[in-house]
A and B are shown apart, each in its own frame.
Chain A
Amino acid sequence: MAVSIKFFAKRRLANAALLLVAGVLCVLLWRTLEAALRPQALYSGFALLLLLLLLTAFNARKKLPFLPLLRASHWLQFHVYSGFLSVLLYGLHTEFRFPTGTLEISLSLLFAIVALSGFVGLYLSRSLPPLMARSGEPLTYEAIPKFEFRLRREAEDLVKTAEKSSGTSAVGDLYMQHLSAHFKPQSVWAFLLGKPKKMLSRALENIDKVQRYTGEDEHEVLEQLRACVRQKHNLDTQKGSQFLLRGWLFVHIPFTYSLLITSFAHAWIVLVYTPSR
């Protein structure tokens, strides 16, 4: 049976092949410069600086959507694979040794933060959207607190209605002891630790436990509470995912600019203090 390779897989393969070729070329060039007793650190440094500028240009392209400057998706592909290449280039430039001195340590730290945050961002960008797409209604991040509040009020109203109609406190006790925490806004750390999933199954279990002791009228309310619990789980997933998808950029972008400034300072110092041959 013929297996057709899909577009993204094809693109990934092509880009990875290009990256491999570029990486091999960089190493070969490094070796050639080394053999020719040329200042390979200087060349690799400028190549790295140029690459950093090109990587940063992606952000500038986003600010100029009206200019016919290729699609942002092409820029992202370049950004991702050049990012990988820059790690190799950085390794060659530093000759894969630990940094010494304040400027070198600062530069290496900044580079590590930018590169790592980039990898994390790439992973988040590819893994979280399918999770959000399957968790329920897509929501706008800014509107989530409003929905959280509404849902909590809806759940509380349901509980009050059940208590009034049945005259017992079974549903009220369930809510106070086991569900009220679920309806509170969750922190992003809770999402990272997988808490919403655990809370969802625990809340549903608790509703099941109470159901056997309640009457027909309360069963209906419990069913509605189950729906609310599931909706809250979707809200937590959307909120946590969207927070992370936005949050990593708050690390990546400021540190990129810091890296760029420090790199320019480094280049200036090198140019000023390198003795001419």
Chain B
Amino acid sequence: MPTELTSPSIPQRWDSPFDSLLAPEIIALLLQDAPLPEELPDEASRALQMLIRVKSAPALAGIDPTRFPQHLPLDGILLNDARLLTKDINEIIIREGDYGNSAFVILRGSATLIADNLPDHLLGRGSRERKGFMAMVKGALRRKGDPEARVHHTERFEAGSDQGDAPSIFLQDVPRVLDGSRTHTIHAGEMFGEIAALGRCPRNATIISAEANTEILEIRWQGLRDLMSFAPEFKEHVEDRYRQFGLRPLLEGLDIIRRLDPAHVDTLVQETRFERHGRFDWYGTYQKLLSASSAADRLRNEPMILMESDYINGLMIVRGGFVRVSHSHHGGEKTISYLGMGQTYGLTEILHNRAHPDQIIPAQHSLRAIGYVDILVIPTHLVEECIIPSMTPSEIAEHSRPLRTQSETDDLALSDHATRDARERLGPGIMDFLMDKRTINGSAAMLIDLDRCTRCDDCVRACASTHDGNPRFIRYGDHQEGVQVAQACLHCHDPICMIPCPTGAIHRKDTGEVVINDSTCIGCSSCADNCPYDNIQMVEIRDEHGLPQFPSHHEQDGGRLNLFSEGSLKRATKCDLCFDQKAGPACVRACPHDALQRFDMQDIDSIAQWLSR
């Protein structure tokens, strides 16, 4: 009889409960099928009480546990993917602009939502500091002999950190802030934060604890995702809340909806359908997919959202993620574009069908989810009744361009000859390449035009000069048709590297750059492991004498200093887009041959024009 193979070294989903104080054995004890023993350890009793209280919270109360599969029980999710937080009065729970990976349910007490933008200093954020002229000169003159030397380094988190150790931040000048801002009270039992967590977008409001000892349940996105999958009532609850708080601003941000009267917008908000395609955690598997399958296989593996020649049921709006737009070409699929957050598809066909009811045409392209996509669908009849009547003739003309079947153009948003010429230079080869490599996620991807790059490495030297002698990118990377995507941080629209960071050291600046706070990085390498592009490096840091640094040990460790047992201190490093430099990214400014540029990959036309200079 063959023995069952076990591989204990492979990490399991619940190896590390969200609440680091709750041991996996305690959770296993609580989740066992057999009745619980009368004498439970303190930790288990506490967790059990927490579980009972959590399940009675209105946001979670209606969930039917029998719908969950055996390997993923509701209690398991709540014990492993949630934790209890206690917040003091005026302590910030979430900050506007931060990227969050979890949702919150208030169990006791209340919180205040502040809808207005607050200045950074009130939110405990440092102001954007750019280096002065003298600091830049000093930096350039400083000795460059030792790589990754840190003159000062903090030991705040080095003795081992857990998520509960994150520093508390209190809102400053609360009476004045509350007096002059639009606020809303969130009561016990209510949920918040799930829109940003599930959409991987920044928080759109600041929420502070309104009472001392406010008890909050924090659920990480993995748990949220599973609750949404197996509990339709929970999914409905989340979608209702999204409809109530998140959908309207998104719809009102679209050009074609901006001019609608509020009653029509209300109708759209009520009738919009939500669709989710692909895997939320696509980054875990995509590199394997890339190496293992051919281009055609990869395309087949991408979940189909809309098939070419299907009837269009509504206007599709990308709420999160990326969509590949392609059409059949000689028995294969030719990628012609991609859509990102806020972009729409289907209006051209709907306009055509409305104008020519006797010549109904289906979708002219196939849409596929690249990784993970959230789509909003406004039904066709509402587009016809509410949106089209409010469109200007020029908007209608723009969206009613001849379709591919009537003319041979392949482009979605052409405006002039120059753009068309440029798009031809870009071609399907580069388009497929950018999509296959997921470079489209970048908001500042480093592209190198190999037809102009003389490999002089001035860009690398400039990068090193502005980072104390340490280059933050590698002039090497995947390439296609003379375009290279260098190994430099893309500053992703969807920065998945930030998801597992336990201290929030890797964060997004209000100006969009994803940067690492060196003093709060604990060197756990979770961001580097999570970066699908291998653009985060772990480096061994050194002191001003060039010697490696080691964690400090305290008296309670027995006074023994075994420096080498844990290895030297490491930090995550990556391109910071020279956010502290007056003149912007040094790499771009240093290229004498106009061969290197940083691009927001959603702006295809700029890339196309750059390549066809």
Interface residues in chain A, defined as those with a beta carbon under 8 Å from any beta carbon in chain B: 2, 4, 6-8, 62, 64-68, 70-73, 75-76, 124-125, 128-130, 132-134, 138, 140-141, 242, 245-246
B31-66 toward A: CB 8 Å interface, digit per residue (1/0)? 000000000000000000000000000000000000
B residues within 8 A CB of A130?
451, 482
Do A76 and B476 touch (CB < 8 A)? no
User: Does A66 lie within 8 Å of B586, measured CB to CB?
Assistant: yes
B612 and A65 contact, CB distance less than 8 A: no
B434-456 vs A, CB cutoff 8 Å, 1 = contact: the mask equals: 00000000000000001111111
13 A–B contacts from the bound complex (CB under 8 Å):
A2-B417, A65-B462, A66-B131, A66-B136, A66-B462, A66-B586, A68-B582, A72-B591, A73-B594, A129-B453, A133-B482, A140-B455, A140-B476
- Given A66-B586, A73-B592, A138-B484, 18 new contacts (CB under 8 A): A4-B418, A8-B613, A62-B592, A64-B140, A65-B589, A65-B590, A66-B581, A67-B136, A67-B583, A68-B582, A68-B583, A71-B589, A72-B458, A72-B589, A73-B594, A140-B475, A141-B455, A245-B454
What's the minimum C-beta distance from A242 to chain B, rounded to whole angstroms? 6
Residues of the A chain whose Cβ atoms lie less than 8 Å from the Cβ of B162: none
In the assembled complex, which residues on chain B have CB atoms less than 8 Å from the CB atom of A73? 591-594
A133: chain B residues within 8 A (beta carbon):
450-451, 482
CB atoms of B450 and A129 under 8 A apart: yes
**Chain B interface, number of residues (Cβ within 8 angstroms):** 40
**Which residues of chain A are near B591, meaning CB under 8 Å?**
71-73
- Identify the closest chain A residue to B482 (Cβ): A133
CB-CB under 8 A from B482, the residues of chain A are 130, 133-134
CB interface residues, B 425-482, toward A, < 8 Å: 450-456, 458, 461-462, 465-466, 475-476, 479, 482
Q: Which residues of A contact B351 (CB under 8 A)?
A: none
Kindly name the residue among A64, A65, A68 whose own CB sees the greatest number of chain B CB atoms within 10 A.
A65
- Closest CB pairs A-B (n = 6): A65-B462, A68-B583, A133-B450, A76-B592, A7-B613, A72-B592
Set A6, A67, A76, A246: member contacting B593, Cβ < 8 A: A76
Known: A129-B453, A132-B450. A66 touches B592 (CB 8 A): no
Q: B454 contacts which of A62, A66, A72, A128 (Cβ < 8 Å)?
A: A128
Which of A4, A65, A134, A140 makes the CB contact (< 8 A) with B421? A4
Determine whether B139 belongs to the interface, using a CB cutoff of 8 Å to chain A.
Answer: yes
B382 at interface by CB-CB < 8 Å: no
**Is B588 an interface residue when CB atoms closer than 8 A count as contact?**
yes
B357 to A: closest C-beta gap in Å = 36
Residues of B565-592 at the interface with A, using a CB-CB cut-off of 8 Å, are 581-583, 586, 588-592
Task: Collect the chain A residues with CB atoms within 8 Å of residue B456's CB.
Answer: 245-246
Q: In the complex the two chains form, what is the Cα distance from A132 to B453 in whole Å? A: 10
Q: How far is the CA of A76 from the CA of B581 in the complex (A)?
A: 22
**Chain B residue with Cβ nearest A242:** B455
Q: Are B461 and A65 in contact (CB under 8 A)?
A: yes
Residues of chain B contacted by A76 (CB below 8 angstroms): 592-593
Residues in chain B near residue A246, CB distance under 8 A:
456
Chain A residues within an 8 Å CB radius of B595: 129
Question: Are the C-beta atoms of A129 and B451 separated by less than 8 Å?
Answer: yes
Residues of A within 8 A of B612 (CB): 6
- B101-142: contact bitstring with A at CB < 8 Å (1 yes, 0 no)? 000000000000000000000000000000101001001100
Q: CB distance B139 to A66 under 8 Å? A: yes
With a cutoff of 8 Å between Cβ atoms, the chain A residues found around residue B466 in the complex are: 65-66
Whole-angstrom CA separation of A129 from B588 in the bound complex: 18
In the bound complex, do residue B613 and residue A6 qualify as a contact, i.e. CB atoms below 8 Å apart?
yes
The total number of A-B Cβ pairs within 8 Å is: 87
Nearest CB on B from A81, distance (A):
14
Interface residues of B in 474-497 (CB under 8 A from A): 475-476, 479, 482, 484
**In the docked arrangement, what's the CA distance between A242 and B583, Å?**
30
User: Which A residues touch B586, using CB under 8 A?
Assistant: 65-66
Q: Which of A8, A66, A71, A246 neighbours the largest number of chain B CB atoms within 10 Å of its CB?
A: A66
B458 / chain A contacts, CB cutoff of 8 Å:
62, 65, 72
Q: Which chain B residues numbered 166 to 214 have a C-beta less than 8 Å away from chain A? A: none
Chain B residues closer than 8 Å to A8, beta-carbon distance: 613
CA distance A132 to B421 in the complex (A): 25
Taken together as a complex, chains A and B put the C-alpha atoms of A141 and B612 apart, in Å, by 27
> Nearest chain B CB to A80's CB is how many angstroms away?
10
Residues of A within 8 A of B450 (CB): 129, 132-133, 138
In the complex formed, the residue of A with least CB distance to B476 is A140
Question: Which residue of A has the minimal Cβ distance to B420?
Answer: A4
Q: Across the two chains, which residue of chain A brings its CB closest to B461?
A: A65
Min C-beta distance of A102 to chain B, whole Å: 36
Please give, as numbers and ranges, the residues of chain A lying within 8 Å of B454 by CB-CB distance. 124-125, 128-129, 245
Residue of A nearest to B477 (CB): A138
Kindly identify which residue among B451, B455, B588 contacts A71, using a CB–CB cutoff of 8 Å.
B588
In the bound complex, CA of A67 to CA of B482 (Å): 31
**Bound complex: CA A70 to CA B583 (Å):** 9
- In the complex, chain A residues whose CB is within 8 Å of the CB of B136: 66-67
With a cutoff of 8 Å between Cβ atoms, the chain A residues found around residue B582 in the complex are 68
Closest to A58 in B: B592
Check if A138 sits within 8 Å of B479, measured CB to CB.
yes
Q: Which residue of A lies closest to B464 (CB)?
A: A65
Hey, which chain B residues are within 8 Å of A2, CB to CB? Answer: 417
Residue of B nearest to A69 (CB): B583
In angstroms, how far is the closest chain A Cβ from the Cβ of B98?
30
Complex Cα distance A128/B593, Å? 13
Given the complex of chains A and B, what is the CA–CA distance between A4 and B420 in angstroms?
A: 11
What's the least CB distance linking B307 to chain A, in Å?
36
CB nearest neighbor in A for B133: A67
Shortest B297–chain A CB gap in Å is: 23
Q: Is A129 a contact of B476 with CB atoms below 8 Å?
A: no
- Nearest B residue to A64, CB-CB: B140
CA distance A73 to B452 in the complex (A): 12
Contact A245 B451 (CB under 8 A): no
A7 to B606, CA, bound (A): 13
Distance of A38 Cα from B451 Cα, bound (Å): 49
When the two chains form the complex, which single residue of B465, B476, B583 contacts A138, counting CB atoms closer than 8 Å?
B476
Shortest distance in angstroms between A14's beta carbon and chain B's nearest beta carbon?
14
Complex Cα spacing A70 to B590, Å: 9
Give the chain B neighbours of A128 by CB distance below 8 A. Answer: 454
Closest CB in chain B relative to A117 CB, distance in Å: 15
Least Cβ–Cβ distance between A126 and chain B, in angstroms:
8
- Inter-chain CA distance A245–B455, complex, in Å, is 8
Chain B nearest CB from A235 CB (Å) reads 14
Which residues of chain B are within 8 angstroms of A62 by Cβ–Cβ distance? 458, 461, 590, 592
Cα-based distance from A129 to B593 in the complex (angstroms): 11
CA distance A222 to B394 in the complex (A): 62
Contact of A4 among B417, B476, B594 (CB under 8 A): B417
B596 to chain A, nearest CB (A): 9
* Distance between A136 CB and nearest chain B CB, rounded to angstroms: 10
**Interface-centre pick from A6, A72, A245 (highest chain B CB count, 10 A):** A72
Q: Which residues of B contact A242 (CB under 8 A)?
A: 455
Most buried by A among B421, B589, B609: B589
Minimum CB–CB distance from B577 to chain A (whole Å) comes to: 14
Within the complex, what minimum Cβ distance (angstroms) separates A130 from chain B? 5
Alpha-carbon separation in the docked complex, A62 to B591 (Å): 9
User: Shortest beta-carbon distance, B321 to chain A, in Å?
Assistant: 31
Q: Are B590 and A72 in contact (CB under 8 A)?
A: yes
Task: Give the docked Cα–Cα distance between A31 and B417 (Å).
Answer: 47
Residue of A nearest to B612 (CB): A6
Residue contact A65 to B465, C-beta cutoff 8 Å: yes
Central interface residue in A2, A62, A138, by most chain B CB within 10 Å: A138
Which of B139, B140, B421, B452 is A129 in contact with, Cβ under 8 Å?
B452
